[in-house]
Structure 1
Amino acid sequence: MNRALLVGVPAYEFTQPGHPFGVPGNLEAVEHNLVGLAAALRAGGVFAEQEVGVVRPRNVDEFDRRLDDAVDEAEGLLLLYFSGHGAVPSTGDELWLLMRAATIVAGTESVFRGAVPWKSVLTVLTRTRAEHVVVVLDCCYAGNASAAWDALDTAQRHRISLLMGVQANNRIDAGDEATPTPFTAELIRGLRAERDGAPVGFKGLAERLRAYMSAHHTTLRDPAEPWEPQSRPAGSGTDVLLAAGAGTAVTDVTEVTAVTAATEVTAVTAATEVTAVTTAATEVTAVTAAVGVTAVPEMPDGAADRTPRGPGRTPAAPDLPPPPRRAPWPPPRPRRPRPAGAPLRGARRRLTGRTRAVAVTAGVLTVLAGLVPAGYLLAGSLISGGQPCKPPLELRLLTDPEIESTVRNATEVYLVSDQNRNGAGCRRSGITVYSAGAADVVAAFHDQSDPWQRPTSEAVNPQRDIGPQPDIWIPATSASAARARPAQDRRSYAELLVDPAPFAYSPLVLAVPQQIAAEAVADRHGGLTELMDALRTREPKAEVRRPDPEHTDSGLVATIGLYGAEETNAAAAEGRVAQPGPPSPTGGNLLCALPDDDSVDDRTAALVPEFLLKSGVDCDSTTRARRLAAYPDDAPGLDPTFVRVRWQEADRDKDAREDAVDRFRAWLTGSDGGTVGGKAGEAVRGGLVEFGKDGFRHASAGHRPLAADLTFSAFGAVGSPGALAAPARPSSMAAALKEYRDANGPGRVLFLLDSSGSMGDLWTGPGGAPGIVKQSLGGLGEQDEYGVWAVAAAPGAPLAHQELLPFGRYRREEAERAVDERTQVKDVEADPYRALTAALDDMARRGADDDRPQLIVYITDGEDNNRLTEGGRLETLRAYARDKKVPVVMASLDSGGCDKGKPDAVVAEASGGRCLDTRTDLVAGLRDEVARAGTGDEG
C-alpha cells in the first residue's frame, strides 16, 4: 500500500499586524496546491484514490497524528508534501514548519510555537516500513532541510528522496490567491507530463523544476536571486516513479521496475513484478490496468490507446494558468542569520493484498502501487509481424557500488544483443541491476540468508537494507565472494556458486594532482606508505583520502595497503587519511566531491581504483585537477567475479532461470567464444568489451588492458605500470575491516598532569593545566574510556604518579568535577621518564586485544625534563615509545618546548604523536588531538 500525505496551511489563526507574535499572513494559494496536487497524484497511476490524504492541521498534535498514521500504513511508497510558512531561527539553520495556530516570538534566538522542527519529521519518517520515502517542501527556507538529510546514515539516505522548493536561506512568494503557488503549479504540470505522456520520476521532475523556476522566477532575497529548487535524490542513484504517464495505469502491479528510456514491455501477474529495462530496441512501453487482456503498445507513428481510468478515479487537474504575479510570502528571515522469478519460500512471499516495492539503482524508476487481488496485468512487446512476445524472465543482479555503472552499461548492451534473443526475435530475459554496501552484503550472505528470505525484525532486514534477493552477485573482489560463504556448520538459505576466476581487474592507484605528482613513471611505483611519504615531501600540505571501507571493496583494499606492515597501528594509519566529515561512500563520489573546493582538489590525492580515472570523472571533468596515477604494490586491486546465487525453495522457473543466468554469464565473462585474459592481441568479446571501455584490465597475470586501443596516458594512468599487487586475501580483508571498525570506535585517552611544585604559576584558570584537561574532554564521548594521573612523587616513592581519575567511562560533568576536586600542586618534583614508561605499559596492555584509538597526553612545563635525559633515558624512552605504538601528545607550557631535538619533541615524534607548545594555540590543538581518538562532539 502506498500513501501520500499532503499537508497544507492556507490560513493562520494569528497573523500580523493584528497579533504581536503572528505570522506574516495567510496563504490562500496553498488551498489550490492541495486540490491540484491531490488530483494530479490520483490521476498519475501510482496512488489510488484512498491512498492520497489531505490535512490542514491546526496544531502540532494533529500533524503528528496524521504523519504517524501515514508512516505506519505505508508499505510501498510514502510521499509527504508540505506547503505553508517555513522559518529558521536566528542562531541556526534548522527549518521549522508552521501549523495553523503557530506564533513567532522574536529574540536573540527566535521561538516558533505551534511549529514542527523538520529534523523531528525526518526522524519519524526513517522508522516507516515503506520501501521508499519522497518529501516535497514548498515553503520559505525549504533548502535548509538539506542539512538534516545530509546527516542521515547511508541506509536511511538510500530510502529517502527530498525535493525542496527553494535554496537555503531564501524566502519565496506565494503567487496569486486564485492559483497554486509558483513552485507547486510547476510541480503539478510536471507530474501530469501532459506533453509526451512519459513516466515521471523524482530525478527528472527535480531537474525540470530547477530549470523552469530558475529561468522564470526570483526569490524575495535582497538582492533577488534566481529561484532554484534543490533536491537530494536517494543514495546509489535510486529513482522513484511518481506518475506513470499518459495511457499507463499500474495500480494492479505489485512491483514494477522501469528504466527511463525503456522501450519494451514486460507482463506480470498481480502477485509478482515486471521490469522493463533500458534498451536501444524500437519496441515501445505500454502498460494497462485491463484485466485478462493484452495491451497493444503505442506504435512510433501512431497515438496510444488511452485506457479509461477505473471507477472512482479523479480526473487530472484542470489546466493551470501561466505563472502568476508574485506576492510576498514571508516570514521574514530573522536577523543573523528479490529475484522476482525466485519466489521467497514459496507461497509465503505472495503479497495477499499488501504492497511491496523496491527502489532500484541509477536510472531506474520504481513504481510502487496497490495490489488488486484478482486478475492479471498483461502487456505485450511487438516483434516483426506484429505478434506479441511472451514476457521475458527477469533476473536480479546485485553488485558493488563502485562498479555498478560499468556492470549496468554491460547489462544494457546484453539485453538488446542477439545473445538475448530467441529465434522469434523476442527477449529471453530482463535484468535489474542494483547495488548495496559491500560489508552489508557479505554479512547478509554469510549470516542473514534466512531473514533475507523472510525478515523477522526491524533490526535485521536485508530486503530493506540491501534489496531483493539476487540471482547474480558481482562483488568487486573475489575475496568478498569467499568471505560471504557461510561456515559449513551454519545453515544457509542461499547457495553461492563462485566462478573459479575473476573476469576483469583494476589496480588500486594513488591519484595525485599533476602539479604535485612525481614526474618520472618509475617514481610512481612502490609501497603505499612510501608513495604517501614522497608526496608529502614534495608538498607538505598534501592530503590523502580514501572511500568508505564498509561501503565498497575499493575502500577496503585501500585500507589493506594503508595499514601496511603488521607493526602499523590502525588508528595512526587512519590519521593519515583523516578528513572533515565521513568518508565518501565510493571512489567515484570522492573524485566528484574534491573539485567543490579548488584548494582541496589541488593538494589532495585519492586512493581509488584505476578505472575511475577513465570512467568516473563525468561529474566534473571540466574543473577537476588533472591527476596522475601512482601504483602501490602492496594494495590489492579489484577483480570482479561472477557469482550465481541459488535460493532455497525458489524452484519456480528453475530450469529457465539457470539457462538465463548461464547465457548472461557466458556473454559477460567472454566465455561464449571470447577470451578471459587470453593471449596478447586476442580480441575480447561480450561484456569484457564494456569493461575495457571503462578502463578495466585482463584478470590474468600481467593485467594487460582489455581495450587494446585505449590510451591510458590520456587519463593519467600507465598502460604497463610494472608489477601490481596480488588480489586480496579473504583473511586480509576481514582483518582490515575489523581494524578499521576498532580504529574508529570508542577511544582510550590517558592524561598525565604534571603537578610538581614548578607548575604552581600554571595551575589556575582556563589556561592552567587542569583547565586545559577539562577543555580537552569535549572531544570524548560517554563510550570513550579515559583517566587522569598526577605526575609528582617524593624521592623513593614506588610510583611516579597518583591516579586522580580511574580509567573508565564518564559523563563530562562528572570528570570535570573530579579534576577540580582532586588535583593540586605538590612541593615535589616530577619524573617524566617513569611516568611515561608506566603510561605506555598501561595503554599497551589495554589495547592488546583490539585496535581502538589510543592516546597519551602529557601536560607539563618541562621543568623536570633533566630527569628525562639523564643516563641515556631519552634514547631508551624513544625506543620504548616506538615499540608500544601508542601516540603521545606532549603539551608543553614552555614556548620552546617543541623545538627540534628537545625531549618533548623527541618523545612525540617517536610515538607517532604530536608536540604542542605555547607558540601555537595549544588548547585548540590538544582538543583536536583528543577528539581524533574519541567520539565526542568537538575537534
Structure 2
Amino acid sequence: MPPYDARGEENRGKRHRAVLIGVERYEGARNDLPAVATNLRLMREALTAGHGGVLGPEDLVVIPASGGSAATVDPLRVREALTAARDEVTGLLVVYFAGHGIVRPDGSDLNLMFTDSRVTRDRQHPFVDTLSWRDDIMPELRYARADWVVVILDCCFAGNALGAFNPLGGQNFALLTAAEPGVEIPPGDPGTGTEFTAALHRLLTTGVGEPVTFTRIVTGIREAMAPLKAVDGHPWVPDERRHGDDVVLALAADADEDPPPDDWLTAIRKSVTRLSAAVSSRRPFPALARRMTRTTALVLAGVVALAGVGAWYLLGPPPGGCGLPLELRVLTDPDLRATVQKAADAYPERDGDRCRTVSINVYDAKATDAVAAFRSSSLWQEPPASCPASGDCLRPQRNVGAQPDIWIPAAGSAWQRATADGAGGGTASAESGTEEQAAEVGKSVVDLDRLGSIAYTPMVLGVPDTMSLPQSLQTDDPLDAIVSALKDAQEVVVLRPDPEGTEGALLATDALYSSSGSGRASTVEQGIAKALRPMPSTARELMCVLADGLHNDVEDQAAVLVPEQTLAQFNLSAGVPGRPDCATEALRHRVAHYPSDVPMLDLPFVRVTWAGADRDADVRKAAVEDFYQWLATDQDAQKRFTDDGFRGVEEGEPAPPEDDSVLRSEDNTTAVREQVPATGEGTGTSASLSDTLSRYRGALGAGRVLYLLDNSTSTADKRVWDGAGGARELVARSMTSLGAKDSFGVRMTAVAEGRPAVELVKFGPNSRAEAQKTVVGAKTAAHDARIGAGLRAALETLRRDPADAEQPQLLVLVTDGEDFEAVEKEEQKELVAEAGRAPLVRIVTVSLQSGACTPGRFGDRLAEASGGRCLDPGDDIAAELAAEVARTGTGDAE
C-alpha cells in the first residue's frame, strides 16, 4: 500500500502534531549542548517548509519555546506534552529529542536527560528527573490514537532504545536513532547543529521527484553518516525499527507551494476553533497572555465571536469545531492499564452535536508509588525543596504523574493503605520508603471515596500442566500447601513480578513470605533472582519473558503468581483473539490454582477530590460518577473487561463468566474455575502488606558479605596470588559492588591447624577504599588453607544475628583449588548439608584452578545447596564475581 501521507486528501481533516524537544542547558556535571538550539530550528524548518513540509506551523509543539531562562526543560512538561499528543493526535505524530542520554551499567533502560537531571548511587532508581524510554515514553506512545507515530532520538546511547521498542499489534510506529546501541556521539557545532540532525534536515528539504519517506530517510542518513566517526572512533551508523508500511515525512521539492482550497478552509476552521476555545475557557495563548489588558481581551473576544459566526456562515459547522472537553485523569495499576485504556476509549460521552464532552487520560504508576503519593498528597502541589544525596525522595509528579481525578488500583488493599490514617493517609509508612524520605512526607489534601468495583480477577498460581499436582489442591488451600505439594513432586520455582510495581504482586508476595520454608524474605528473593533477573515489573511482562524462548529451562519449572485474567490470555492458542502479541509456543499451558490466602483483585473505582480545587467541582464530580456508573453497569463497558479475561460485576459481586469470555474458551476449560473460590479471612491487611514491603526492601537493601581468602603459599607458587586476575586483585575489585551501608569482612584461611581464620578486614561496616588497600597489601602464610573450618565459622557469623535475617547474605571463597579439593569426601558431604541449612546463605566459590566447577564436584555442590555460584577459569571471573557481590551489596558493580 502507498506510504501514509498526512497531507493526502483522506488525512487533511485529521489532527497532526510534532513534539520537538531540545535540552541545551544542564545543571550539575553534564555539559551544555549549544548545538541543540540550532537542531530545533532545523527540525521546525524541515517539517513545515512551504514546498515540502508535511505539517503546518500550528502543528508544532517546541520545548523549550525560546532561549534564555525558558531554555530550562522539565521532564514533567515533556511528559504532559506527550500525553496530550497521545490523546489528541489522530493523524501523524512526530516526536523528536535532542539532548543527553544515559543508560544503566548493563546498557539497559535508556533515560533522556533534562536540565536538572542527575545520577545517584541508588541502584534501584539511579536517575532523577529523567524520562525512561522503556518505562515512561514507549508506554505512553504505544497507546497513541495517531495513525502513525515517528520518533527520532538524537542523543548518546539512542540505539539502546531499540531493545524496548514494543508497539501494539496493529500500530504504525517507526523509531530512528542517531546511532547503534552503546554508541556515544559528538555534541555538534552550535552554528550548524549536530551532524545527525543537520543531515536529517538536508534529506527532508532537498527531496526531488518523489516524497521523502521514512525508509528513504534510513538509507539516506546512513549514507550521510558513513564517512564520520562517533565517540572513540566508533563507526557512526544510525539505526531504526519500523512497525507498519511506510510514512511520508516530506513532500517532493517540486510539490505545489499553494495548498488546495480545502486546506485553507481547514486552516481557518482550526484557527477559529482554537481562538474560540482559548477565550471561552479563559486560557489565552501564552504569548498574548503576558501582554493582554482587560480591553484587549474584550476586543479579542469580540473578534473571535465575529470570526466564529462569519466562518460558520461561510463554511458551515466546522468538523473540528467542538469546544474543549472536560479532562478526567485516571490513575491505574500497571496490570490494568491496557484494559482500562480500552474502556476509556469506548466511553461514549458526547453532546447533541456529537462533540466529546469528556476526555479521559489514563496513565499508570507503580502501586507503592501511588499509595505513598496519596498518603502525602500535598507533595503533589509542593514537592520537597531538596532530596537526599541518594535522590530517593517522594515526588508524586515525577513518580506518578499529574493529579488524578480517578484512581483504579488493582485491589482494595491499596485503597486501605492509602487511607490508613484517614482519607489520604498523611503519615510516613512503609510505602514512603526510607527514613530520609519520611522527613519529607507531606499532609493529606485529598478525599479518596471508594464508589465500588468495576471488575474482578482472582490471583492464581499458574502451574504448567505437565507438573503433577492433585486436583483437590486447585482451590481452598493456602499457598504454602500448594507449593509444598509441588516441590515434593518435582523441581519447581515460584515466580511473581516486582511487588513494588503492582498490587497483585504485593499480595502474592505477602503469602509467599508466609509460605517460605526458611521464613526469610531474602531466601525467597534470592531464589527468584537465581531463576530470573531482572525481575519483570508486571504480570504480562513476566509471562512475555517466559515466552521469549530464551528461558526455556526456567519456563519448564516455573509456577507463576499472576492474575487469573493474565493466565487465561496467555493460555490461548495461536490465532485466537485476545492472545497477547508476545505469547509463543515456548510457553506451556498452565492450570490455575487459587490460594486461599491471596485476596482477589476487586478493581475498586476511587473518586479523588482535591482540597481547594473548586473550579468546575460539581461538573467534574458528576462526570466522574457517570463514568463509574458506565464502567460498572453498561454492557459495552463490561465487555472491555471480560474480553480481556476479567470477571464482570453482578450486584456488587464477581459475575460468572459469559459464554464468550476468555475464561470459557476451549483453552481454559480445564485451566480455570467457573466459580470464584473464597479468600481466607485476615489476608492482605494494611499492616501485613506494609510489613511485607519492609521485608522485601530489606531483602534487597544493605547486604552482608564475608570473604574467605586462600593465602596459602601454594597460591604464590601457582602465580595466582599477585597481579591482574590474582586472588587479591579479584577480591579488591569485587568490593566495588559494596556500598557504605553494607557490612563486609575478609578472613585469611591459611592458619595453623586448630587456629581460627585471621581477620584481615574485620566484619562489619567498613571503608571500601581502606579495605581494598588492605587486601592488595595482604601476604601469604606458610600454612595450608583450612577450608572446612573457615566455611563453618563464616556461615555461623552470617547466621548469628536474627535481626539481620532479612538482609542478603553472601559468603565468597577464593582459593587456588589445592586445599579446596583436598577436603575429605565425608567432610564435603557435611559442609554441603550445612550450606543448605536455613537461613540460607549464598556461597560463591572462586577456584583459580580449572575443573573445580564441573557438575558433581565440591564447588558445584556447594553452589547447588546454597543457591550460589561456582566460578573457575572457564568463566570471566572478575566480571562474574563483581556481579554476584552486586546482588548482595549496594555499590556500583562494574
Q: Would the aligned equivalents of 2:457 and 2:601 in 1 still touch at CA under 8 Å? A: yes
Q: Counterparts of 1:565 and 1:543 in 2: how far apart (Å)?
A: 13
Offset at 1:749? Answer: 0.8
Q: Secondary structure at the match of 1:883?
A: coil
Tell me the residue number matched to 2:449: 497
CA deviation digits over 1:206-244, x for unaligned, max 9?
A: xx9646746999756999999975599xxxxxxxxxxx9
Amino acid at match of 1:884: P
Q: Would the aligned equivalents of 2:448 and 2:606 in 1 still touch at CA under 8 Å? A: yes
Tell me the residue number matched to 1:248: 270
Q: Counterparts of 1:929 and 1:507 in 2: how far apart (Å)?
A: 32
Amino acid at match of 1:553: E
Tell me the residue number matched to 1:575: 526
Q: Counterparts of 1:735 and 1:807 in 2: how far apart (Å)?
A: 28
| Aligned counterpart for 1:840 among listed residues 770, 784, 795 | 795
Q: Secondary structure at the match of 1:884?
A: coil
> Pairwise mapping of residues 456-855 of structure 1 onto structure 2 (< 5 A)?
457=385, 459=387, 460-488=394-422, 490=427, 491-499=443-451, 503-510=455-462, 546-560=496-510, 562-566=512-516, 567-578=518-529, 582-592=534-544, 598-600=549-551, 604=555, 607-613=561-567, 620=581, 625-634=586-595, 636-670=599-633, 685=635, 687-697=637-647, 705-712=656-663, 713-714=665-666, 718-720=671-673, 723=677, 728-755=684-711, 761=717, 764-765=721-722, 769-781=727-739, 784-794=742-752, 797=755, 800-808=756-764, 814-827=770-783, 830=786, 832-833=788-789, 835-845=790-800, 848-849=803-804, 851-855=806-810
Q: Secondary structure at the match of 1:855?
A: strand
Q: Secondary structure at the match of 2:803?
A: coil
5+ residue gaps, structure 1: 9-27, 54-65, 95-116, 153-160, 191-207, 233-243, 257-265, 274-287, 307-378, 382-389, 675-684
Q: Secondary structure at the match of 2:347?
A: helix
Amino acid at match of 1:719: V
Tell me the residue number matched to 1:335: none
Q: Would the aligned equivalents of 1:769 and 1:859 in 2 still touch at CA under 8 Å? A: yes
Q: Secondary structure at the match of 1:45?
A: helix
Q: Counterparts of 1:433 and 1:565 in 2: how far apart (Å)?
A: 36
Amino acid at match of 1:720: R
Moved more, 562-571 or 517-526: 517-526
Q: How many residues align?
A: 711
Q: Counterparts of 2:39 and 2:270 in 1: how far apart (Å)?
A: 30
> Pairwise mapping of residues 80-229 of structure 1 onto structure 2 (< 5 A)?
144-147=157-160, 164=177, 180-183=201-204, 210=214, 213=217, 219=223, 229=240
Q: 1:518 to 1:76 in 2, by over 3 A?
A: same
| Aligned counterpart for 1:397 among listed residues 330, 334, 355 | 330
Q: Would the aligned equivalents of 1:832 and 1:868 in 2 still touch at CA under 8 Å? A: no
Tell me the residue number matched to 2:92: none
**More helix, by proportion:** 2
Amino acid at match of 1:839: A
Q: 1:50 to 1:734 in 2, by over 3 A?
A: closer
Offset at 1:400? Answer: 1.2
Q: Secondary structure at the match of 2:795?
A: helix
Q: 1:746 to 1:716 in 2, by over 3 A?
A: farther
Q: 1:144 to 1:302 in 2, by over 3 A?
A: farther
Q: Secondary structure at the match of 2:515?
A: coil
Q: 1:607 to 1:829 in 2, by over 3 A?
A: closer
Q: Counterparts of 1:804 and 1:920 in 2: how far apart (Å)?
A: 27
Amino acid at match of 1:482: Q
Q: Counterparts of 1:87 and 1:648 in 2: how far apart (Å)?
A: 38
Q: Would the aligned equivalents of 1:41 and 1:47 in 2 still touch at CA under 8 Å? A: no
Amino acid at match of 1:885: L
CA deviation digits over 1:899-935, x for unaligned, max 9?
A: 8887766655554444556787766654543332234
Q: Counterparts of 1:911 and 1:4 in 2: how far apart (Å)?
A: 53
> What RMSD over aligned residues (CA atoms) do the two structures have, in Å?
6.2
Q: Would the aligned equivalents of 2:158 and 2:177 in 1 still touch at CA under 8 Å? A: yes
Offset at 1:444? Answer: 0.5
CA deviation digits over 1:240-282, x for unaligned, max 9?
A: xxxx9844359979999xxxxxxxxx96331899xxxxxxxxx
The percent identity for this pair of structures is 30
Q: Secondary structure at the match of 1:431?
A: strand
Q: 1:758 to 1:884 in 2, by over 3 A?
A: farther
Q: Secondary structure at the match of 2:328?
A: strand
Q: 1:882 to 1:457 in 2, by over 3 A?
A: same
Amino acid at match of 2:748: A
Offset at 1:553? Answer: 2.2
Q: Secondary structure at the match of 1:642?
A: strand
Q: 1:31 to 1:502 in 2, by over 3 A?
A: closer
Q: 1:297 to 1:894 in 2, by over 3 A?
A: farther
Q: Counterparts of 1:719 and 1:687 in 2: how far apart (Å)?
A: 23
Offset at 1:425? Answer: 8.5
Q: 1:130 to 1:916 in 2, by over 3 A?
A: closer
CA deviation digits over 1:11-55, x for unaligned, max 9?
A: xxxxxxxxxxxxxxxxx99997664447679953366999755xx
CA deviation digits over 1:720-754, x for unaligned, max 9?
A: 18857657333343333333333333422101224
CA deviation digits over 1:163-212, x for unaligned, max 9?
A: 636776899x999x9995224679xx99xxxxxxxxxxxxxxxxx96467
> Pairwise mapping of residues 245-324 of structure 1 onto structure 2 (< 5 A)?
246=267, 247-249=269-271, 268-270=281-283, 291-292=304-305
Offset at 1:608? Answer: 3.7
Q: Secondary structure at the match of 2:550?
A: helix
Q: Counterparts of 2:333 and 2:686 in 1: how far apart (Å)?
A: 16
Amino acid at match of 1:445: F
Q: 1:890 to 1:492 in 2, by over 3 A?
A: same
Tell me the residue number matched to 2:888: 933
Q: Would the aligned equivalents of 2:784 and 2:819 in 1 still touch at CA under 8 Å? A: no
Amino acid at match of 2:340: V
CA deviation digits over 1:638-697, x for unaligned, max 9?
A: 331121222222334444433333333233223xxx8xxxxxxxxxx4633321111112
| Aligned counterpart for 2:813 among listed residues 832, 846, 858 | 858
Q: Counterparts of 1:178 and 1:885 in 2: how far apart (Å)?
A: 58
CA deviation digits over 1:807-830, x for unaligned, max 9?
A: 356676543331132342243663
Offset at 1:841? Answer: 3.5
Offset at 1:560? Answer: 3.7
> Pairwise mapping of residues 337-356 of structure 1 onto structure 2 (< 5 A)?
none
Amino acid at match of 1:611: Q
TM-score (norm 2): 0.62
Tell me the residue number matched to 1:888: 843
Offset at 1:782? Answer: 5.5
Q: 1:620 to 1:796 in 2, by over 3 A?
A: closer
Offset at 1:619? Answer: 6.2
Q: 1:691 to 1:862 in 2, by over 3 A?
A: same
Moved more, 651-660 or 911-920: 911-920
Q: Counterparts of 1:831 and 1:600 in 2: how far apart (Å)?
A: 35
Q: Counterparts of 1:587 and 1:178 in 2: how far apart (Å)?
A: 42
Q: Counterparts of 1:210 and 1:610 in 2: how far apart (Å)?
A: 41
Offset at 1:481? Answer: 0.9
Tell me the residue number matched to 2:366: 437
Q: 1:582 to 1:923 in 2, by over 3 A?
A: closer
Q: Counterparts of 1:887 and 1:805 in 2: how far apart (Å)?
A: 20
Q: 1:777 to 1:589 in 2, by over 3 A?
A: same
Q: Counterparts of 2:783 and 2:184 in 1: how far apart (Å)?
A: 62
